[in-house]
Amino acid sequence: MLSSILTQWAEGLSTAYLFAERWLRPPNRFRLRGNSRAISLFRMHEATEDPVFSTDAHNFKGLPKNLLSETRNSSIEIVVPAHAIMEQRLDPLPAESLPFIDNVVLHQIESIFPWRSNDILHSTRAEKRNDGMLDVRVQATSRSAIKTELAIAEACKAAEVVISPENQGLDAGKPQIRAPLGSGHASKLDRLQAIARIAVIALIVSSACVVGWTTYVRWSLSSDVAALDQAIAERRALIKRSLNANDAAQSRGLEARKRFTPAAVIVLDQLSSILPDGTYLTDLTLEGNRLRISGVSSNAVELVPLLEKSGQFKNASFYAPTTRLSGSTNDRFSIEATLSPPSLATQ
């Protein structure tokens, strides 16, 4: 089943390519006319005929080499008497038999025409009827009757021949036999069908890969989204618990900040009552219960004992050397101390 569909696709693609090629680059057209004495080749220009070559009907010796470049891959019409082309109609066939029409015709061809099968040049036309059946018509002529014309067409290396009755042009109606000539067309068609098969297989494989990759990416994204949703839910729960804990501790935090904010002011007020006149602070740092002060004093040596005796500070000491200001009796000092529990309690 799959092989049959693949073959039909390949044949359809190759046929469409050949049709497009003929439409985009139509082949040169020639016409062969003959009688009992001579056969002439004409170049077709729309409706006019330009004679280019003539030969004896019974003694064809070959084509001029300069003409071969024009006739190669061309379409050559062979004009024959009207009675030389016969048309027969087969019994109606089911529409499903369309891919096998050629085999059906070859099987019946000797019974519907008065020639041997190897002496018949034919073409087949199939049309669908309203009842779903196929109307098949076969046009045929004898190869031996036009053997010289066929030899000339082969010498021209034409891609196809069209056998049409007298007084009927190349593009006219019926009956008319259109057939590929030589092995070039068949080999080209085989190559195109092989390429088409490869292209169809590559397309199927690519589609399968794209579908598989899309499915995998979708599954992967779904897993990532699920994991992300779970992480978001956990984060929301954590934030909610944190907010509940913050709400419970909000008053304590506010109270702690309230106690911390005036602490520096309280400590500064205590220092102002402890430090003697002539002492000035330039810097005060309070980190928890750790106090650091810097400033200028006329008697910096007495400051540490004063802080210890106050009972509000302990472990007082100089954390930097005391230096005398230039041109003055004042010293620059740097002292650190620890707030005693009673001092902290006042906060």
Token duo for residue 80: 């024959």
- pLDDT on residue 88: 93
Token duo for residue 200: 């169809």
68 Cα distance to chain centroid:
46
Could you list the mean pLDDT of each consecutive 10-residue stretch along the chain, which spans 347 residues?
A: 64 65 74 89 85 88 85 89 91 89 91 93 91 92 91 89 77 69 58 74 86 88 86 89 76 59 74 86 86 89 87 88 86 90 52
Domain 263-345 superfamily per CATH: General secretion pathway protein M, EpsM (3.30.1360.100)
Angle CA(267)–CA(270)–CA(276) in degrees, nearest 5?
Answer: 130
Largest CA-CA distance found in the chain, in angstroms, rounded: 150
- pLDDT on residue 5: 66
- pLDDT on residue 17: 60
Token duo for residue 84: 């030389």
Burial pattern 283-313, b for ≥16 Cβ within 10 A else e, equals eeebeebebebbbbbeebeebbebbbebebb
β partners of residue 142 = 120
Tell me the C-alpha distance between 78 and 153, whole Å: 9
Tell me the C-alpha distance between 182 and 161, whole Å: 10
- pLDDT on residue 64: 85
Torsion angle of alpha carbons 94, 97, 98, 103, nearest 10°? -130
Tell me the C-alpha distance between 281 and 268, whole Å: 10
Token duo for residue 275: 């430090």
Tell me the C-alpha distance between 162 and 139, whole Å: 11
Residue 114 and residue 121 in contact, taking contact as beta carbons nearer than 8 Å: no
16 Cα distance to chain centroid:
25
Residues with Cβ within 8 Å of 154's Cβ and at least 6 positions away in sequence, in order, are: 181, 182
- pLDDT on residue 136: 94
The domain limits of the chain are 2-180, 194-256, 263-345
The owner of tokens 């620890």 is 338
Residue 85 and residue 138 in contact, taking contact as beta carbons nearer than 8 Å: no
- pLDDT on residue 170: 46
CATH annotation of 2-180: 3.30.420
Residues with Cβ within 8 Å of 322's Cβ and at least 6 positions away in sequence, in order, are: 300, 301, 331, 332, 333, 334
> Long-range CB contacts (< 8 A, 24+ apart) of 172-180?
174/87, 174/139, 175/85, 175/86, 175/87, 175/139, 176/85, 176/123, 176/139, 177/85, 177/121, 177/122, 177/123, 177/139, 177/140, 177/141, 178/123, 179/121, 179/122, 179/123
